[in-house]
């Protein structure tokens, strides 16, 4: 099935669940870029082929290459999609393009009926997009923040305590998160350790103090798990007099 130009559906070209290209980038404070590429739709029935890069403008609502409804908000997580139509009423395939939504199932513009999520975008407190960098060409994508997101300040818990990551990590279970940790031990033997939410393990990775009362830093990868839809990790200090500060550097996404 094909339309005039380069926007086509080729049901047999891609393998099940495939994604090629379609890298998401922050173009400005209110626009995203989606590179050319192709993917299977969310129902795994059609190929969506975006022949040229698209620009998604949050100032446009209810149309392709815009937001599905409303306007950009403060401190929000947005799903980023490519969308298309299996067949419109005139018998022509609609051009493939981008769309953003607060929902996992977007409100599609008239004439569109298929979609696939290809990324994420976060807005900050000023209702502008946070600068993030996405790398990867297939189903696994890496995200890195231009400015790390603070998630814990002056943590002192001596039991496994949750860190809520909803402001920096999407609601994906078993999502690999890259933490940047600053740890100030009371004495050199003190430790801070990290685990997936729900873990009760005692032998878990972390940071051991080197010099009493001297701050040290380290990158720590850990899996975030969902707690009622909210991504969380756990931390534990060996002594209440220790001080733990945590930022999110980035995360891994599996499309």
Q: Where are the domains of the chain?
A: 19-138, 144-254
Query: In the prediction, which pLDDT does 11 show?
Result: 43
- Of 199, 184, 190, give the one whose Cα is nearest residue 235: 199
Spans of the chain, pLDDT less than 70: 1-12, 88-93
Query: In the prediction, which pLDDT does 46 show?
Result: 86
Query: In the prediction, which pLDDT does 8 show?
Result: 42
Angstrom distance (rounded) from CA 4 to CA 26: 30
Q: Does domain 144-254 have CATH number 2.60.120?
A: yes
The whole model's pTM is what? Answer: 0.90
**3-state SS class at 39:** strand
- Of 177, 164, 180, give the one whose Cα is nearest residue 224: 177
Angstrom distance (rounded) from CA 97 to CA 48: 9
Residues facing 226 on adjacent strands: 231
* 14, 20 contact by CB (below 8 A): yes
Angstrom distance (rounded) from CA 7 to CA 48: 8
């Amino acid at each position: 099935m094909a339309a005039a130009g380069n926007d086509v559906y080729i049901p047999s070209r891609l393998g099940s669940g495939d994604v090629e290209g379609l890298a998401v980038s922050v173009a400005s404070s209110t626009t995203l870029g989606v590179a050319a590429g192709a993917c299977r739709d969310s129902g795994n029935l059609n190929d969506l082929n975006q022949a040229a890069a698209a620009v998604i403008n949050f100032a446009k609502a209810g149309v392709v290459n815009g937001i599905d409804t409303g306007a950009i908000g403060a401190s929000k997580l947005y799903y980023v999609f490519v969308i298309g139509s299996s067949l419109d009423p005139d018998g022509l395939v609609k051009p493939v393009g981008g769309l953003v939504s607060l929902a996992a199932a977007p409100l599609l513009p008239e004439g569109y009926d298929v979609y696939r999520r290809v990324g994420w975008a976060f807005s900050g407190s000023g209702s502008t997009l946070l600068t993030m960098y996405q790398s990867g060409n297939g189903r696994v994508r890496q995200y890195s923040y231009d400015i790390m997101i603070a998630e814990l300040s002056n943590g002192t818990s001596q039991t496994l305590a949750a860190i809520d990551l909803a402001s920096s990590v999407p609601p994906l279970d078993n999502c690999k998160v890259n933490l940047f940790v600053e740890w100030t031990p009371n004495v050199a033997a003190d430790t801070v350790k990290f685990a997936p939410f729900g873990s009760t393990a005692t032998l878990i990775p972390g940071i051991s103090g080197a010099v009493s009362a001297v701050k040290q830093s380290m990158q720590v990868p850990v899996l975030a798990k969902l707690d009622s839809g909210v991504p969380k990790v756990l931390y534990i200090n060996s002594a209440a007099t220790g001080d733990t500060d945590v930022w999110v550097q980035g995360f891994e996404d599996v499309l």
